[in-house]
Structure 1
Amino acid sequence: MTHPTPQTSPRIAVVAANWHADIVDQATDAFVATLGEHAVTEVDFFRVPGAFEIPLKVQRLANSGEYEAIASCAFVVNGGIYRHEFVASTVLDGLMRVQLDTGVPVFSAVLTPWNFHESDDHRDFFRAHFVTKGRELARTVLQTLEVETA
């Protein structure tokens, strides 16, 4: 796989939710680090209150014409009311719509665990899991941009 050189580094945005930032930031940090390993250095970071606000921010960024790709990260948990699946589905539907409407590739690490408990074990597990997901997200962005420029 050929990766962009510093002279051709694409400009990429990443939008992350504030909720559970200690976990979500593991994905964004790994995402930026992995892109950096492949000479992609133009990454702009944006924070929104929660996952539900991600699609609108992504749409505004896509419509700006400034980004070759936009990634998103959030952790949507079951807070004791049946809402998390609705939120996650709505966010992903919105992201897909932005991608199809604008032609700007949009990527998601908006994740919904089956069960999450506010315990050290669960937090540690999901922090590590989000590092993996951030790396995977970066590799997917790189692969997609490579296909689009080929």
Structure 2
Amino acid sequence: MATIEGTFEKASSFKIAIVVARFNDLITTKLLSGCLDCLSRHGINISESSNQLDVAWVPGAFELPIISQELARKANYDVVITLGAVIRGDTPHFDVVVSEASKGIATVSRETGLPIIFGVLTTDTMQQALERAGIKNNLGWSYALQALEMASLMKALD
């Protein structure tokens, strides 16, 4: 029986894209900060002149799939991380945005064969979002770890 797993040993060689939703940027900038911290600690060059990392900003979570798709098709990334925050309001808009963002991101990943990490917080309140973006822990860090593991796993399958 073969056991195939991703590791973090060669993480410093990966090329990564991060797509960040500007809507709820109080939250998404914190997620991005946690994500960048994790990547940096695993050897990814996160400087402005880096050729290992690109960050693209989109208006909201609904737009994450289309830009992820373009990046997956046009560049040689090992993994794409999507970051967003959708907070429930008084209308069904929350359900539409979450559904379309998640389905779209999953579809892009399957169609391109590129791992795309779903880093979109879906919370009932701003307080819950803040807790997940740094007050209690920063899930941006976890999304980066998932990205490194998936990029490694995909390389192990080659």
| TM-score of the superposed pair, with normalisation by structure 1 | 0.86
User: Which of the two has greater helix per residue?
Assistant: 1
Task: Give structure 2 stretches of 5+ with no counterpart.
Answer: 1-6, 46-51
* C-alpha distance in structure 2 between counterparts of 1:106 and 1:124, whole Å: 23
Q: Between Structure 1 and Structure 2, how many residues are aligned?
A: 144
How much has 1:132 moved relative to structure 2? Answer: 2.2
* C-alpha distance in structure 1 between counterparts of 2:104 and 2:145, whole Å: 22
Root mean square deviation of aligned Cα: 2.0
How much has 1:127 moved relative to structure 2? Answer: 3.4
Alignment partner, residue 57 of structure 1: 67
Alignment partner, residue 137 of structure 1: 143
Instruction: Name the SS for the 2:133 alignment partner.
Output: helix
In structure 2, what residue type is equivalent to 1:91? A
Q: For 1:15, which of 12, 19, 33 is the aligned residue?
A: 19
How much has 1:128 moved relative to structure 2? Answer: 1.7
Instruction: Name the SS for the 1:111 alignment partner.
Output: strand
1:93-129 deviations in Å (ceiling 9; x for gaps): 001110111111111111110x215xxx556434326
- 1:118-129 → structure 2 map (5 Å cutoff): 124-128=130-134
- 1:5-44 → structure 2 map (5 Å cutoff): 6=12, 9-41=13-45, 42-44=52-54
- 1:67-78 → structure 2 map (5 Å cutoff): 67-78=77-88
Task: Give structure 1 stretches of 5+ with no counterpart.
Answer: none
Alignment partner, residue 95 of structure 1: 105
* C-alpha distance in structure 1 between counterparts of 2:136 and 2:58, whole Å: 18
1:16-61 deviations in Å (ceiling 9; x for gaps): 1111111111111111110111112222111000111110000000
Is 43-52 or 125-134 further displaced after alignment? Answer: 125-134
Identity over the aligned pairs, expressed in percent?
25
